[in-house]
Structure 1
């Protein structure tokens, strides 16, 4: 299932995500040499509708055409089939960012492929890993890590002072590569924004020029560290909408404007159909249902029960069904990091 090549194929630099299938037969790992041999690993298009990483890598390759890269570079281009249709994943496909080693075991060809990618990069002595994503709601640019480790923090703050530490969901690329090297996920706002491409391009070039990743503590004033403490989903049997929509759960129309805002207890998020008996599902890092810790359901309203900060809130119903409604975060004390 995985194609492994040592060159940039003809036509790849000009192909947008929807036309990648005309150049690549499927998921492809591209190894290119550089002055320093330990490669920077970059994964893009794990979700087919998130193309900022691909566009940034194409820009990087164009910049270095005919020139030696400062460091070897390995790029994994993921869900080419879903990208053709502008979708996160196709129906019947697993999520390409939930099937990496370390997550729940699976027997699909895609699970085996991700294991092959990790083994390939382990053998090459990978220097650092960068997984590039977009999101559908209104979010700032930020970086995510799976380890409380100063090397990971340095790699993250090279992109943004806003850093999120998380251990769920399982099976993500960053967690798999954290076993091999410092690893980060970049969240680069919505697709199609020029600033997102420029930001990722500058970041990748900075990473390629790193001789080493520092181990000393990141200065406290250089990082806002948050911890993802719960994942919120809408149960599959529950219908939902926004604004004036008639549904079991009706969220406020500008729900995605609440991302990365520290919400006080009592903040209104939406309404429940009277006598419907429905609730949002909220799971903590151990997978326990903890909805009552975070939300109140009184008088047909959904309100926060404690101060919290959401991320990844979106108005895209398909994404909510395929992934989640949002994540809930709290500040993580740097003294404990």
Structure 2
């Protein structure tokens, strides 16, 4: 399922994400030499409808065409090119490429075996750092995610944004697998089609290639806005839901995505419930325990927050909600900077 290259295939950098399927046989791992031998690992198109990583990396590599040496070796993993061809997160019958890395809870699949192969191959190359580049739906700022509260990880994240999210769930994500090999981050670069997202990711990757080492001193509290993901919110599989009044059992506020990265008080309205109880939501904490009643309540048909939290990745994209989740709930985590 995985194809490896020791060069950039001819014409690859001229292609849009939805054209890659015509040049690559499938997921591909490209190893390129640089002045510093320890490679930067970059993964793009984990989700086929999130193009920012491919757009940024191809602009970056164009800077080094014509024999110009990369400042550091680079290993580039190009993921779900089949879904990218159809502008979909994933295709029917596929596993989510960012839920099947080592440590996942997914069932056995070709995608899961491939991700284990990628990790094994990169373990041999001793990567310097790992960067997984994503878009998201909804109105979100640019931010970085880490899976370890370690100074090197936090400094790598701060190179992208002072807004940093620490999470341990969902399992099976690329950054969590590579956190066992090297400092790793996930970049969230806003919506698809944003030129600013591409430019921001491009300059970040360029900066990573020029890093000589990872700072080891602790991150100062005043230099970071650190949040901890405490719960993932999904709509229960048998629940009819939407954003417009009608036959839905669960109707969300049409401006829900405006609540992203806002610290919301208890009582904030999320939507309305018709003929269902709190079981219309599936809310899981870091350990996978069901905690819907800890975070939500229903009062006279209104679905409201039960405590103060900050949401991220709230989206109005019904397909994304079905395939992934409605949002994540976070709390400020500055006290835990002392764990570095």
Query: What TM-score comes out, normalization by structure 1 length?
Result: 0.98
Aligned match of 2:61: 61
Aligned match of 1:8: 8
Q: Which runs of 5+ in 2 are unaligned?
A: none
Aligned match of 2:38: 38
1:219: Cα distance to partner? 1.8
Distance of aligned partners of 1:218 and 1:275 in 2 relative to their CA distance in 1, 3 Å threshold: closer
| Number of aligned positions between the proteins | 337
Instruction: Map 1:1-337; keep pairs closer than 5 Å.
Output: 1-66=1-66, 67-104=68-105, 106-274=107-275, 278-334=279-335, 335-337=337-339
1:276: Cα distance to partner? 6.3
CA distance in 1, matches of 2:18, 2:52: 13
Which has the larger displacement, 171-180 or 267-276? 267-276
1:27: Cα distance to partner? 0.2
1:105: Cα distance to partner? 5.6
SS of 1:330 mapped into structure 2:
strand
- Once the two structures are superposed, residues 181-240 of structure 1 have per-residue CA deviations (whole angstroms, 9 ceiling, x without a partner) of 000000000011110010000000000000001110112111100000001000111010
Query: What TM-score comes out, normalization by structure 2 length?
Result: 0.97
CA distance in 1, matches of 2:78, 2:312: 26
Cα RMSD for the two superposed structures: 1.1
SS of 2:218 mapped into structure 1:
coil
CA distance in 1, matches of 2:211, 2:277: 56
- Once the two structures are superposed, residues 237-271 of structure 1 have per-residue CA deviations (whole angstroms, 9 ceiling, x without a partner) of 10101143431000010111110000011100100
CA contact (8 A) 1:238 1:278 kept: no
Distance of aligned partners of 1:26 and 1:275 in 2 relative to their CA distance in 1, 3 Å threshold: closer
Q: Which runs of 5+ in 1 are unaligned?
A: none
Which has the larger displacement, 273-282 or 291-300? 273-282
- Once the two structures are superposed, residues 316-337 of structure 1 have per-residue CA deviations (whole angstroms, 9 ceiling, x without a partner) of 0000000000000000024543
CA contact (8 A) 1:143 1:159 kept: yes
CA distance in 2, matches of 1:264, 1:277: 19
